[in-house]
Amino acid sequence: MNINKYALGVICVVLTAFLWVFAALLIQDLQQNDNVQPFFLTYFEMSLYIVYFIPVLFRADFYLSFFSKSSSPTVRSQQSQISQSPPYMCALNPEELSNDSQNDIKSCERTEKFTKREFLLFTLAFSMLIFTANFLYCCSLSSTSIATNTILSSSSSLWTLIFARIFLKTPFSLTSVLGVCFAVIGQILVIQTGSSDQKNYVYGVIFALLAAVLFGMYTITLRFGLKGKKEPPMHFILAASGAWILLLLWPGILILDWTGLQPFSWPSGNAWISLIINALLGTVVSDLFWGLSVVLASPLVAAVGVSLTIPLSMLIPSNDDRTWIYFSGAALVLLGFVLVSITPQNEDKDKEDMEQSATPEQEEGERKQEEDEPLLG
């Protein structure tokens, strides 16, 4: 595992935690003081993912290079692709190729290119998961305190561990299991300080728990969908997701207003400023850091790392009693994060096997490719 990339992934998840706490303050203020409904708030902030298309306008050829030119390549086109393409390109069906061609692609199967159709379907599924998770998160913020919401949402680490085992075949290590257990126990302890007399508190708890499940699911979807593929830049994936959300989900605002579930009213000037700040920092930038932490470190580190939002919420002024139970829970969450972070997860065993079998020429080609691919285009 590349230790430098792993360390960068840990840094990204810590920055994500700070931005999410800041965003939670803005979201709760918008809903309580400006009557901005959760669906519209989520739709607006996540549609702004499309700002990541700006680099695409200036480097279209670079982004198109991540796609296969044919959606159904034949054996002939596969052989031609191997002979004419850089070392990081692979055929889609290596079994049908000659022995020499199989040797050429054996070590680069992990960087098979997306077809455009595959990429569109992948980002469609990803966008629906990430939107639903954030929508439920916003709904829960309108009925629970930031601390309670943060604790329940952070239980996504448990679901990430389960989904990683099911879909990625990630082996359980003692430190990862202990880290998640400490984090979950810490979350349970901290939740005892939450107020249970708020209106619609039960609904808020249910929404937060559902959001946690979906956070874990879309984390694994991101890693699983990119497994064995030549990974497009993370901001390009978010840009495509934002486009899907912008194009497909606007009728939800009209439907919820018509049914009276979430009546729509035009935000005030100050509310628009808060909406834009929250969208840019709390969603566009933070989710980029989050996605990078998943790709550079591991889904479990990303999920448990975001649990740092719990001790960070201690900095927010509150009328709640901060007992020794709260501080003990926060300490356990931090301990869980440390245990997971200091033990890099071997989630892509196939990837490491491919890297070990790569020829010097292929390794040199991939190193040059990585140097030419900036994180932000």
Residue 308's pLDDT band (boundaries 50, 70, 90)? confident
Q: Is residue 308 assigned to a domain?
A: yes
Lowest-confidence region among 113-117, 131-135, 273-277: 113-117
User: At residue 44, does pLDDT exceed 90?
Assistant: yes
Q: Is residue 173 assigned to a domain?
A: yes
Residue 331's pLDDT band (boundaries 50, 70, 90)? confident
With tokens 């607006």, the residue in question is 44
pLDDT single digits (tens) 212-259: 888 888 878 877 777 777 778 878 888 999 999 999 999 999 999 999
User: At residue 354, does pLDDT exceed 70?
Assistant: no
Residues 6+ apart with CB under 8 A from 252: 39, 43
User: At residue 106, does pLDDT exceed 50?
Assistant: no
Query: Residue 70: what pLDDT?
Result: 59
The DSSP call for residue 41 is H
User: At residue 47, does pLDDT exceed 90?
Assistant: yes
Domain ranges, residue 172: 3-70+114-371
Q: CA-to-CA distance for 284 and 309, rounded, in angstroms?
A: 18
Q: Is residue 107 assigned to a domain?
A: no
Q: Is residue 158 assigned to a domain?
A: yes
Q: Is residue 184 assigned to a domain?
A: yes
With tokens 């931005």, the residue in question is 19
Q: What is the mean pLDDT of residues 192-197?
A: 59
Radius of gyration of the chain (CA): 22
The closest alpha carbon to 9, from 201, 256, 293, 242, belongs to 293
Query: Residue 115: what pLDDT?
Result: 82
Query: Residue 193: what pLDDT?
Result: 64
Query: Residue 377: what pLDDT?
Result: 47
Q: Work out the mean pLDDT of the chain and round it to a whole number.
A: 74
Q: Is residue 227 assigned to a domain?
A: yes
Q: Is residue 97 assigned to a domain?
A: no
Claim: this prediction has a pTM higher than 0.85 = no
Q: Is residue 258 assigned to a domain?
A: yes
- Number of folded domains in the chain? 1
Query: Residue 97: what pLDDT?
Result: 40
pLDDT single digits (tens) 64-104: 777 776 555 443 344 334 333 333 333 333 343 444 444 44
